Amino acid sequence: MSSMEDSDDATADCNLPKDIIVDILCRLPVRSLLRFRCVCKSWRTLIANPSFIAKHFNQAITCNEQLVVHTKRSFEVKHAVTMIVRTNKKRNDRLNVELPPPCDISNYVRLVGSSNGLLCISLCSTASVILLWNPATREFRNLPERQILVPTGKRVHTVFLGFGFEPNSSDYKIVRFLSYKVLKSNVPKVGVVEVYSQITDMWKEVNAGLKCQVNEYSPTAVVSGAVHWLGSRVAKEKDSIDGKDVIVSFDLGNEVFGDLPLPESNVYAQGHGFQICVLEESLSVLVFPTSGNMSKSIDIWVMKEYGVAASWAKQFSIRLFTGVSRPVGCFKNGELILQNNKEKLFLYNPRTKKFGTLPLCSARYVYDVHSYAESLVAVRAAI
């Protein structure tokens, strides 16, 4: 990776010291920087420099926190993506984002994940059409299509996707695998596991050793270079779910699956739902009561040391009030996004125990909520 030292001439025509100019530019929004590329060739070189792009992104995530929310109000209305921007003034601003053109001709839109300003979107229920999109620069590209392989005579049950950044190789990767139904078996079988690399711009099959069943509607959480889902262990001798709920992980570097225990799983045996998320860069789990459960609280657990089961710690226990149906996401600082029975979204801060509003219309379908920060990261790997 080239450094900003290689772009010394980028500030040669200015009277200010180079470090000051870089510091000023890295605090500007992407929209302004895209215009400033036209000021001169040297500025264009600086703004395209990978070290500057990294510095700019790190500045963006410290100045404000954003969520990208994928909703749909009804089957007749198009999918919508909204940015919720949290500024230093603790105010929530809304920015409606126009989806890239390929989404206009698809009734199926799935926001797979968010990483360093890039969003991964699937436009087909079999995940054969996938694109990378940078909403800030408005760049997008369709990834090489590769039809997912289904065993002869079998029916696809669910296609799972995960998207994240692998820091050791500085590569953006997508993992894709399916489950399919087999007669006389209660457990869907896992088919081929494939990984896309932005650097190679290719898909490849991997022998990832998945030994768990991933929950069909599980959200994903990316922590420590791994994608995580909710799932259950499979009993080999019975070819059935053994009832042990776990967190399924896929290491983007080694490209292998693993599993982690849920916190106090013996306590939350029945009548509870789980949702995984990321709080302050740590893997976290929200435990909430499901239908028929008399419990009136949401517990927030954080894995203090990644991969160590004993490091699970309950951070908060939030007393629910009538009308709250479920948590749908959270800011990294721990503020929860809750949905009530009237399909309205609102905020709850477990530290201050105060509620807040979200600048969002009521949404019948809230599909995905991901952390986001704008960046200059390209949808194509640098050559």
The most confident of the ranges 67-76, 248-257, 271-280, 366-375 is 248-257
Q: Which of 31, 57, 83 is the last residue of a domain?
A: 57
Q: Which of 19, 39, 57 is the last residue of a domain?
A: 57
Classify residue 196 by its DSSP letter.
E
The more confident residue out of 184 and 58 is: 58
3-state secondary structure 77-111: CCCEEEEEEECCCCCEEEEEECCCHHHHHCCCCEE
Lowest mean pLDDT among 17-26, 42-51, 57-66, 219-228: 57-66
Residues 118 and 32 in one domain: no
The most confident of the ranges 161-170, 203-212, 344-353 is 161-170
Residues 139 and 37 in one domain: no
Determine, yes or no, domain membership for 379.
no
Determine, yes or no, domain membership for 285.
yes
Determine, yes or no, domain membership for 264.
yes
Residues 207 and 302 in one domain: yes
Residues 46 and 174 in one domain: no
Which residue in 155, 256, 154, 163 sits closest to 212, CA to CA? 256
Judged against a pLDDT cut of 70, whether residue 60 lies above it is answered with: yes
Note the pLDDT tens digit of each residue in 90-116. Answer: 667 777 788 888 777 667 788 899 999
Judged against a pLDDT cut of 80, whether residue 340 lies above it is answered with: no
How much is the average pLDDT of 368-374? 87
Judged against a pLDDT cut of 80, whether residue 180 lies above it is answered with: no
Residues 36 and 72 in one domain: no
Residues 159 and 235 in one domain: yes
Scanning the structure block, which residue is given the tokens 């296609």?
159
How much is the average pLDDT of 80-89? 72
Residues 221 and 367 in one domain: yes
Determine, yes or no, domain membership for 28.
yes
Residues 283 and 205 in one domain: yes
pLDDT confidence bin for 51, thresholds 50/70/90: very high
Determine, yes or no, domain membership for 377.
no
Sheet containing 354-357: give its strands across: 324-330, 336-340, 345-349, 354-357
Give the domain CATH number at 88.
2.120.10.80
Determine, yes or no, domain membership for 342.
yes
Judged against a pLDDT cut of 60, whether residue 171 lies above it is answered with: yes
pLDDT confidence bin for 325, thresholds 50/70/90: low
Residues 71 and 166 in one domain: yes
CA distance 133 to 142: 9
SS3 380: coil
Element (H, E) at 40: none
Residues 19 and 120 in one domain: no
Give the residue numbers spanning the domain of 135.
64-372
How many structural domains does the chain have?
2
Residues 228 and 361 in one domain: yes
Judged against a pLDDT cut of 80, whether residue 50 lies above it is answered with: yes
pLDDT confidence bin for 268, thresholds 50/70/90: low
SS3 174: strand
pLDDT confidence bin for 314, thresholds 50/70/90: very high
| Mean per-residue pLDDT of the chain | 81
Residues 23 and 157 in one domain: no
